[in-house]
């Protein structure tokens, strides 16, 4: 069952049909654009297969009806779409609906990217986020004598991590006349806005994660970072992470390229064409520890570069306190310019989303670099 965020539920006035319809459209859109395959309804109301263009047409019509509901300005066929769009309430309502659609999709979209090592937290406007980090150390048990009243007194103190989200903006130009006249797709525009925010938020999360993992200790008894792959060094690191996470079993996580050399040390093995290693490109289990792929994603700051490090294998326990917290504040805001502000009659639309990523946990993790 799809969960509708409370702010979207309030905005929709309990008529969630257009927003659930957009979830279906989004899942299809992601699949069509080569992303992770997600479940979506492929049949129309008449039971026949529904093409993406037909779904997009239906979605745009649903969005226009939602704009009419929010703006309170009915569309009269005697009035041209261009004249109808001149109404400032129509312009405002259009991007208010887009903002609600973003909030409908974004939590699940970002979870797909970073959910293995990050927890997604939502709050209202003006909220800050705080976590009380409990010590993971145990009390010292001392050997004593029958006539000894007490030993050294121990007391533990919690640490509070506070996270204050920061505003992030994207500004785009859109020909609202064409959108409302059906010449440009409002649904596709909304999906591209979601993808843009998702990519920026995921990049923030991974960069914070990679920085924290890169600062792990590489020497001595506190060793949690290993350079160079051997089966024994990776398993030893996994055992260390498991024991210090209260027995929670870790997984080996990395990109497909990073997990490629994670193989048993014994060279006396053979792989058939039907073997999981041939099909997947990595062994799914090594010494009882699961391997999990982190899907590579684009680094949009550098053309044709990827963001995730293909040499890093992370040893993390996803079942305990997640390493990162992605804190999202309030709803998506939109600021729309006037229809005649630009000489080419396009409008500038700015979307504002507040978030911040921070390390806030008492769990531990390890890192092995394969090269």
- Token couple for 68: 């009419």
pLDDT at 55: 86
Dihedral sign for Cα atoms in the order 344, 345, 346, 350: positive
Closest CA to 39 of 50, 48, 26: 26
pLDDT at 200: 94
pLDDT at 176: 67
- Token couple for 36: 């992770």
How confident is the prediction along the chain (371 residues), in pLDDT tens digits per residue? 678 888 899 999 888 999 998 998 888 888 777 666 666 666 666 666 778 888 888 888 898 899 999 999 887 777 777 777 778 888 888 889 999 999 999 988 898 889 999 999 999 989 999 999 888 888 888 888 888 888 888 888 888 999 999 999 998 887 766 776 667 788 888 888 898 999 999 999 999 999 999 999 888 777 899 999 999 999 999 999 999 999 999 999 999 999 988 888 776 667 766 677 777 777 888 889 999 999 898 898 899 999 999 999 999 999 888 999 999 999 999 888 776 777 776 778 889 999 999 999 999 999 999 87
The Cα–Cα gap between 8 and 12 comes to: 6
Rama region for 147: left / alpha / beta (φ>0; ψ in -120 to 50; rest): alpha
pLDDT at 128: 92
The Cα–Cα gap between 52 and 195 comes to: 18
pLDDT at 71: 92
pLDDT at 38: 64
- Token couple for 97: 């609906």
Name residue 253's beta-bridge partners.
Answer: 292, 314
Q: Which residues in 150-175 are b (16+ Cβ under 10 Å) and which e?
A: eeeeeeeeeeeeebebeeeeeeeebb
pLDDT at 153: 86
pLDDT at 40: 64
* Dihedral over alpha carbons 83, 86, 92, 95 (to 10 degrees): 60
pLDDT at 182: 65
pLDDT at 51: 82
Which residue pairs from 16-24 have beta carbons closer than 8 angstroms and sit at least 24 positions apart in sequence?
Answer: 17/62, 18/62, 18/63, 18/65, 18/66, 19/100, 19/101, 19/104, 21/58, 21/59, 21/62, 22/59, 22/62, 22/63, 22/101, 22/104, 22/105, 22/187, 22/190, 23/104, 23/105, 24/55
- Token couple for 319: 């079942």
pLDDT at 43: 62
- Token couple for 60: 């745009």
Within 10 angstroms of residue 300's Cβ, the number of other Cβ atoms is: 12
- Write the CA distances from 65 to 227, 326, 337, integer angstroms: 58, 34, 22
pLDDT at 340: 72
The Cα–Cα gap between 177 and 197 comes to: 25
């Amino acid at each position: 069952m799809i969960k509708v965020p409370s702010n979207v539920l309030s905005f929709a006035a309990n008529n969630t049909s257009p927003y659930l319809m957009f979830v279906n459209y989004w899942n299809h859109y992601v699949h069509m654009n080569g992303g992770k395959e997600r479940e979506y309804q492929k049949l129309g109301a008449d039971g026949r297969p529904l093409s993406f263009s037909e779904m997009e047409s239906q979605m745009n019509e649903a969005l226009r009806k939602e704009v009419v509901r929010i703006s309170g300005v009915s569309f009269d066929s005697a009035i041209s779409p261009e004249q109808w769009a001149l109404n400032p309430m129509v312009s405002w309502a259009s991007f208010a609906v887009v903002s609600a659609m973003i909030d409908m999709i974004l939590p699940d979209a970002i979870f797909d990217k970073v959910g293995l090592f990050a927890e997604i937290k939502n709050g209202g406007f003006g909220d800050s986020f705080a976590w009380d980090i409990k010590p993971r150390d145990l009390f010292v048990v001392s050997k004593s004598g029958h006539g000894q009243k007490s030993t050294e007194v121990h007391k533990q103190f919690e640490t509070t991590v506070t996270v204050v989200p920061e505003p992030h903006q994207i500004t785009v130009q859109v020909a609202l006349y064409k959108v409302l006249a059906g010449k440009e797709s409002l649904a596709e525009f909304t999906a591209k806005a979601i993808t843009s925010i998702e990519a920026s938020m995921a990049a923030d999360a991974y960069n914070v994660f990679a920085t924290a993992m890169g600062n792990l200790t590489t020497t001595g008894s506190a060793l949690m970072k290993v350079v160079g792959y051997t089966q024994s060094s990776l398993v030893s690191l996994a055992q260390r992470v498991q024991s210090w996470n209260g027995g929670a079993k870790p997984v080996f996580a990395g990109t497909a390229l990073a997990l490629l050399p994670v193989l048993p040390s014994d060279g006396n093995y053979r792989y058939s064409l039907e073997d999981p290693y041939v099909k997947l490109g990595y062994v799914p289990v090594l010494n009882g520890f699961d391997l999990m792929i982190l899907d590579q994603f684009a680094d949009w700051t550098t053309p044709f570069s990827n963001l995730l490090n293909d040499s890093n294998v992370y040893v993390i326990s996803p079942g305990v306190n997640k390493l990162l917290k992605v804190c999202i504040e309030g709803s998506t805001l939109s600021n729309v310019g006037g229809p005649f502000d630009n000489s080419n009659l396009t409008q500038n639309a700015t979307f504002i989303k507040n978030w911040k990523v921070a390390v806030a946990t008492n769990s531990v993790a390890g890192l092995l670099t394969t090269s």
